[in-house]
Chain A
Amino acid sequence: MGKKRTIESYLPLTPALFHVLLALADGEKHGYVISKEIARRTDNEVNLSTGTLYGIIKRLLEDGMIEESSERPDFSLDDQRRRYYRLTKLGRTVAEAEAERMERVLALARLKNVLGPQNA
């Protein structure tokens, strides 16, 4: 077993990985729903292909940021070949830390007039 990692050691996250964590932030989902939500939220700017998405899922599982959910939908709606994933406590903390990191970067960008004033 390796040494316990600090939250900072996971940062910065790659955009694709951060998007997967965000997609799972509001509940467990399977691969297709994750990819659809990311595409929808980013106006199709981020389209995760099969290989890319499951590469990320494998890494998040190994790092303990997500886990496979044992809860399944109603039998009539369920597809046994799909697996559902949800954020772990670590995953949520890392996502929050990444969001805060980005917020700090944005604040700095505003301070330096690289970005316009906050309007929302």
Chain B
Amino acid sequence: MRVRTNPTAQERFLSTLLRLLPTDFQDRFAGEMRTLFRDQQRDARDAGRFAYLRFFVNTTCGLIATAFREHREILFQDADYALRLMRRDLSFTIAVIAILGMAIGASTTAFIAANAILIQPLPFSGGNHLIHLQQRQPGVGVENMGFSVKEIEDYRSQNHTLDALVEFHEMTFSLLGGREPVRVDTGVVSANFFRILGVTPLYGRSFMDEDDTPNARPVLILSYNFWKKSFGGDPNVVGQKYSMNDKEHVVVGILPPIPQFPSEVDVYMPTVACPTRSGEHAMHERQWHMMNVYATLKPGVTLAEAQTDLNQIAKRLQVAYPDDYPIAKGYEIGLRPVHEELSHDIRPVLIVLSAAVGLLLLLACTNVTGIMVSRMLARTRELAVRTILGAGRNRILRAMITEGIMLAIFGGLAGLIFAYGSLGLLVSFTAKFTSLASQLSFTQGAIVFCLLLSLACGVVIGMAPSIGVRFMPPFTMERGNVSVSGRISSKTRGALVAAQLAFCVILLVGAGLALRTVLHLERVDAGFQPSGVLTSRIYILNGTHQEFFKQLLQRIRRLPGVESAGLASTIPLHDAVSDGPVPIEVRDAEAIQRNETRPNPPVIRIVTPDYFRTLGARILAGRDFSEQDTKEATPVVIVNQHLASHYWPNGSAVGKQIAVSPDKWLSIVGVVSDVRHVGLDQDPSDEVYGSLAESSQAAMSLVIRSPQTSPDLGAQLRWIAHDIDPKAVVADVRPMMQVRSDWLASRRMTAMFLSVFAVIALCITASGISGMMALTVGERKHEIGVRLAVGATPGTVILSMMKQVLVLMMIGLGTGFGGAWMMSTSMSHIISGIAPRDAITFAVSSALLIAVTMASSFVPLTRIAKLDPVVLLKAE
């Protein structure tokens, strides 16, 4: 008889290795293997130290290799078995693959967007170290007033923490020499701009320092999109000469497809080539703020250190130039990483959409788990036979997980196709928020993510049904009696249905909030009447602005069908151009006299007579501009209601005076209704309208009111403009309705995505409830038969079963409402005009879900009415 001793360290080592083997293998051979190990260990010890070492290496390698082989073999067996089951029950397989495919595909699509925009570094080598410098005037609410040339020189020469400091500003010029004159958005940049970014041109060269010196030959670099659009991707355009600003410019390079910032432009030129930037005013006036400034930090310098360094420069400038940086307005310098800036607008949208697809995935997994549990019940006899034939519970569990993984892998493949197919839609959607949309592509990372997600889903949906197996006593299985497993499974299915209801209600509330936002924005009074208004942007090159615009308006107004026409420096909801805030002085202001909070500086816009009437804005007091408001007449302005109520809440603003520049007082002759210029979701701000007759503008937006905003009107407009000035550029001809619609497009698409997810969720949940009830009726046929036999009516039986559904529904709705209540605040960035916990949305979502739940559970229950108790009891 052997004496049982404590295992040695070597035996414990072997035991650890043995755990790598499949359970069945361990059960069968572990004892023998331990004995053999001891015998071989003794021999090896006798053979010397080297043999002993070799023995351990061989044992370890041999066991690992055997474990790998055994697991692989089992995997192949289980996969083969799962495939046969999937083929046998094709409708089940297709349903599961479709549900998982949609959810995994949507998740992969969300990953592609989030990865490219929020996670991945910018696609230029220097991009991640790039920061945007902003000059702020907190006293008057100016977040970024831009930099003047003088300020750039100061910050460039005085800082100790920046590696390089480059500038960018956007101009619009006419490019001549092609088939026809084209208006090109031009980025005016420092010579080392692209070197700092780490961008190498696709063709040609980048700007060199010599290109940015006085009297250098003007050169251009084309953006990728402009090159493709205007030159058909012809690389021979490099070296070609074009006329711009009455000078010959040579194309020296073409950029690769990169996300442009701060805005998309067509061409780039060095600063010295820009006539405005090289002008007297720009070069010498500290107030000539028009440049965006970007910088990279020196190696090892933190953002905080750079901030401290630049703050000191700002303080020095404030002391040295007190007139340029008045204490009342405040003066600060801010630093912001460019990556953060580029993803700022889309971040909340992506977070909400990612959360929605996450919920959809959870719901899909829950639903499929429910189906798997039901299927497991149907296979009880088969599993009992496998148990009797010697398959352990772990072996059965493993086979189930493999089956789940197989289904999820097929679902994942369907998801990959779904994600690949939706990439175009995704790019057009994200492009409404960020230029990083150009970086969205179907990468290997997306494929790996999709496969890993599929594996995770497979494990979840494969493991969940095993809860029934784990608790099923062997004798119960052997007798084919499913009562124990049935009870457990019934509870599991109930919990799964409640979970689906909870996920569904969160998605419904999310979609409801987004839809209500769009409905609100559709109905919001923007302060103008877009219907019947045609808009376009007009650029002129020579100095005859006043005469050109005067003639243009006269001739447009004479066109048949045109009711009115007007011009404005910017039109509402047009994101391409915007006017900046300008601090003003106000005489006899009531609010200021009472020392109330000083309003933010108003935006100055330039308009012509009849602009307000054409746009559909109303003159609330005083008058519109007239042809008599000329440069020689008393300078006058019109203010909006918002400004008037700020400064003169109790009296009329008409007749009061404001000053935009020191000692140049302007009389207010009218008050116009508020117009939502920046966005339909943005409250109106203070605005001052000046007359074009007193200003000089090279670019204006034209609005024409006509009952028929047909393409003919656009063609007539172009003809008239070119007839007056052949070099005039007429761009962006769109009905005002389309301008409004384009602005709403991103909100509409967000709401559409969330609604589609919610509808899918509703369908999946309905199928889950319906499936569960059908199975419950099937399982309880005997009980139903007895109840019918002793006199119960089908109605009372249906009612009692509906009570169970009601309990599940209350649990699901309650949990879902809790989740939606907490999550709705995170949607505050994308909703407008309604509260995040909007009672109507919550009420409608719950009503919809209750209706769908009742309908989907009632249909299977109607089978009860058709059951014959005699047949049921005989069958038992």
Taking CB atoms, residues of chain A closer than 8 Å to B32 are: 30-31, 54, 81-83
* Contact between chains at B61 and A49 (CB < 8 Å): yes
* Contact between chains at A32 and B65 (CB < 8 Å): no
> From DSSP, what is the main secondary structure of chain B's interface residues?
helix
* Contact between chains at A54 and B69 (CB < 8 Å): no
Taking CB atoms, residues of chain B closer than 8 Å to A35 are: 36, 40
Tell me, yes or no, whether A119 is within 8 Å of chain B by CB.
no
Shortest beta-carbon distance from A29 to chain B in Å: 12
- Complex formed: what's the CA distance from A36 to B36 in Å? 10
Query: Contact check: which of B14, B34, B43, B65 meets A52 at CB < 8 Å?
Result: B65
The size class of the interface chain B forms with chain A is 20 to 34
Tell me, yes or no, whether B35 is within 8 Å of chain A by CB.
yes
Shortest beta-carbon distance from B716 to chain A in Å: 83
Task: Give B12-55 interface residues, CB cut-off 8 Å to A.
Answer: 14, 17, 21, 25, 28-29, 31-37, 39-40, 43, 55
Tell me, yes or no, whether A50 is within 8 Å of chain B by CB.
yes
Shortest beta-carbon distance from A76 to chain B in Å: 12
The size class of the interface chain A forms with chain B is 20 to 34
Q: Map CB proximity to B onto A62-83 as digits: 1 under 8 Å, 0 otherwise.
A: 0000000000000000010111
* Contact between chains at B35 and A51 (CB < 8 Å): no
Tell me, yes or no, whether A94 is within 8 Å of chain B by CB.
no
- Complex formed: what's the CA distance from A38 to B130 in Å? 69
Query: Contact check: which of A32, A48, A52, A54 meets B29 at CB < 8 Å?
Result: A54
Shortest beta-carbon distance from B99 to chain A in Å: 34
Tell me, yes or no, whether B63 is within 8 Å of chain A by CB.
yes
Query: Contact check: which of A50, A81, A82 meets B63 at CB < 8 Å?
Result: A50
- Complex formed: what's the CA distance from A58 to B21 in Å? 12
> From DSSP, what is the main secondary structure of chain A's interface residues?
helix
Tell me, yes or no, whether B854 is within 8 Å of chain A by CB.
no
In the complex with contacts A35-B36, A57-B29, A58-B29, A50-B59 CB distance below 8 A: yes
* Contact between chains at B63 and A51 (CB < 8 Å): yes
* Contact between chains at A32 and B36 (CB < 8 Å): yes
Tell me, yes or no, whether A17 is within 8 Å of chain B by CB.
no
- Complex formed: what's the CA distance from A54 to B28 in Å? 10
The residue of chain A having its C-beta at the shortest distance from the C-beta of B41 within the complex is A50
In the complex with contacts A32-B36, A49-B59, A55-B70 CB distance below 8 A: yes
Task: Give A70-117 interface residues, CB cut-off 8 Å to B.
Answer: 79, 81-83
In the complex with contacts A51-B59, A52-B66, A55-B66, A81-B28 CB distance below 8 A: no
* Contact between chains at A82 and B35 (CB < 8 Å): yes
Taking CB atoms, residues of chain B closer than 8 Å to A57 are: 29
* Contact between chains at B69 and A55 (CB < 8 Å): yes
- Complex formed: what's the CA distance from A83 to B32 in Å? 7
* Contact between chains at B64 and A51 (CB < 8 Å): yes
Taking CB atoms, residues of chain A closer than 8 Å to B63 are: 49-51
* Contact between chains at B31 and A54 (CB < 8 Å): no
* Contact between chains at A49 and B28 (CB < 8 Å): no
In the complex with contacts A47-B58, A49-B58, A58-B28, A32-B66 CB distance below 8 A: no
Taking CB atoms, residues of chain B closer than 8 Å to A58 are: 25, 28-29, 70
- Complex formed: what's the CA distance from A83 to B35 in Å? 10
In the complex with contacts A58-B25, A58-B28, A51-B33 CB distance below 8 A: yes
Tell me, yes or no, whether B778 is within 8 Å of chain A by CB.
no
In the complex with contacts A35-B40, A49-B61, A58-B28, A79-B66 CB distance below 8 A: no
- Complex formed: what's the CA distance from A22 to B291 in Å? 88
Tell me, yes or no, whether B62 is within 8 Å of chain A by CB.
yes
The residue of chain B having its C-beta at the shortest distance from the C-beta of A39 within the complex is B43
- Complex formed: what's the CA distance from A47 to B56 in Å? 12
Taking CB atoms, residues of chain B closer than 8 Å to A81 are: 31-32, 34-35
Which A-B residue pairs are the 9 nearest by beta carbons?
Answer: A49-B62, A51-B63, A55-B66, A51-B62, A51-B66, A52-B62, A49-B58, A32-B39, A31-B36
Given contacts A49-B55, A50-B62, 9 further A-B pairs with CB under 8 A are A32-B36, A49-B40, A49-B61, A50-B37, A51-B64, A51-B66, A51-B67, A54-B66, A81-B34
> Which of B's residues lie within 8 Å of A, judged by CB?
14, 17, 21, 25, 28-29, 31-37, 39-40, 43, 55, 58-59, 61-67, 69-70
21 contacts between A and B (CB under 8 A): A31-B32, A32-B39, A35-B36, A35-B40, A47-B58, A48-B62, A49-B40, A49-B55, A49-B61, A50-B36, A50-B40, A50-B63, A51-B17, A51-B67, A55-B62, A55-B69, A58-B28, A81-B31, A81-B32, A81-B34, A83-B32
> Which of A's residues lie within 8 Å of B, judged by CB?
30-32, 35-36, 47-55, 57-58, 79, 81-83
